[in-house]
Amino acid sequence: MSMIEIKNLHKYFGELEVLRGIDLTVDESEVVCLIGSSGSGKSTLLRCINFLEEKNEGEITIDGQLVTAKDINEIRQKVGMVFQRFNLFPHMTVIQNVMEGPLTVKKMAKKKARSLAMALLEKVNLLDKADEYPAMLSGGQQQRVAIARSLAMEPKVILFDEPTSALDPELVGEVLGVMKDLAKEGRTMIIVTHEMGFAKEVADRVIFIHDGQIAEEGPPEAIFEHPENERLQNFLGQILV
């Protein structure tokens, strides 16, 4: 069953056409990695899916529901988002960050939200930091809290926007580790990443975006071992040296 269906998506920033007709279907439990050089439109595509950017043309269907500006708050509960710069709420403790969505949006009882948050923090291995403020945590820890925060809404899909790009190299592994666990659980994930090793290992499908269009897509072996598109060959040549 398809979880996300995108048809003919166009997005302009002023005169500039950033997305030039994207068609994409993501199945339930599928892990899709978006790769491409900066400015190719991969982050914009991700941000259009949960309306952080408003699309100009095209249709997005999530879990059988057509996304419109009107019911966007409802859709967003189904779509988790993890940001490059974590965007944790600095005035709340780690556990308050994780509880915030269930408490405010779902109106969950505090006790229930707390035990849910504890379970999620255990999952990302940060139970001991529950009462710290984000400023006391390393980047890798903050990103794991951000993942737990988005999981707390029990989303159907999680979007990752370059989740390890702002991290020190030695902290990348712990975040990718958590993401691998999520993939094994059968979560539907769309990941914009520059970590080709990770994409190779975890992705069911890799999509190469160039100039606002899907230039090539396929299973990781095909994309990384036998790239057909010349742009993709260049791109891989530049980063896999």
Partner 1 sequence: MDAIINLANNSIEFFKTVVEFAPKFIPGVILTLQLAFFSIILGMIIGLVVAVLKLTKYKWLKKIMNVYITIVRGTPLLLQLYFIFYGLPSLGIMIDSFPSAVIALALHNGAYISEIFRGSIESIDYGQREAARSLGMTKWQAMKRVVLPQAFKRSVPALGNQFIIAVKDSSLASVITITETMLLARQFGAATFNVFPIYFTAGVYYLIITMGLTKILSIVEQKLKVNER
Return residues touching partner 1 (CB under 8 A): 50, 52, 73-74, 76-77, 79-81, 83, 85, 87-93, 100-101, 104-105, 133-136, 146, 149-150, 153
CB of 27 to partner 1, least distance (A): 22
Please, which residue, 105 or 118, has the CB nearer to partner 1? 105
In degrees rounded to 5, what are phi and psi of residue 66?
-70, 130
**Among residues 119 and 222, whose Cβ is nearest to partner 1?**
119
Residue number, 134 or 163, with CB nearest to partner 1: 134
Quickly count helices (H) and strands (E) in the chain. 9, 10
Query: To the nearest whole angstrom, how small is the minimum distance from the Cβ of residue 160 to partner 1?
Result: 12
Query: What is the rounded CA–CA span in Å between residue 203 and residue 223?
Result: 11
**Position 58, amino acid:** G
Q: How far is the CB of 194 from partner 1 (least distance, A)?
A: 19
H or E stretch at 158: strand 157-161
**Pick from 24, 35, 136: which is nearest to 88 by CA?**
136
Least Å distance between CB 146 and partner 1? 8
- Residue closer to partner 1, measured from CB, 99 or 183: 99
Kindly give, in sequence order, each residue whose CB lies less than 8 Å from that of residue 83, ignoring residues fewer than 6 positions away.
146, 161, 163
Between 74 and 122, CB nearer to partner 1: 74
Spatial separation of the C-alpha atoms in residues 46 and 48, rounded to whole Å: 5
Q: What angle do CA 112, 115, 119 make, to 5 degrees?
A: 140
Provide the minimum distance between the beta carbon of 107 and partner 1 in the complex, in angstroms, as a whole number.
Answer: 11
